[in-house]
């Protein structure tokens, strides 16, 4: 369970950071409030992403295992 928690926390940092950076830069541009808006969005996204990763990742892994069970 420790590995799953560590994975969720680390994966969420990178994915939410990258996606929110891209979305904010496209929609707002690099204005004077960019950092404030990005960090706020990143924080909210991170809080949502960690539980989502913990809940969704095992199901996705099962689906991938099922889809590729005869390929190995």
Q: How many domains does the chain have?
A: 1
The position carrying tokens 């969720």 is 8
pTM assigned to the model: 0.79
Inside any domain, residue 7: yes
Do residues 50 and 8 make contact, with C-beta atoms less than 8 angstroms apart? Answer: yes
Inside any domain, residue 49: yes
CB burial string 40-59: b at 16+ within 10 A, e below: ebbeebbeebbeebbeeeee
Using pLDDT thresholds of 50, 70 and 90, give the confidence band for residue 70: confident
DSSP state of 37: H
Inside any domain, residue 72: no
Q: What is the mean pLDDT of residues 46-58?
A: 94
d(CA 41, CA 37): 6
Domain region containing 54 = 2-67
DSSP state of 41: H
* Residue 59 confidence (pLDDT) above 70: yes
Inside any domain, residue 60: yes
Inside any domain, residue 31: yes
Inside any domain, residue 59: yes
């Amino acid at each position: 369970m420790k590995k799953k928690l560590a994975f969720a926390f680390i994966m969420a940092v990178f994915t939410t950071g990258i996606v929110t950076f891209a979305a904010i830069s496209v929609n707002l541009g690099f204005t004077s409030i960019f950092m404030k808006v990005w960090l706020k969005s990143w924080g909210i996204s991170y809080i949502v992403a960690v539980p989502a990763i913990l809940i969704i990742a095992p199901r996705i892994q099962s689906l991938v295992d099922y889809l590729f069970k005869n390929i190995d």
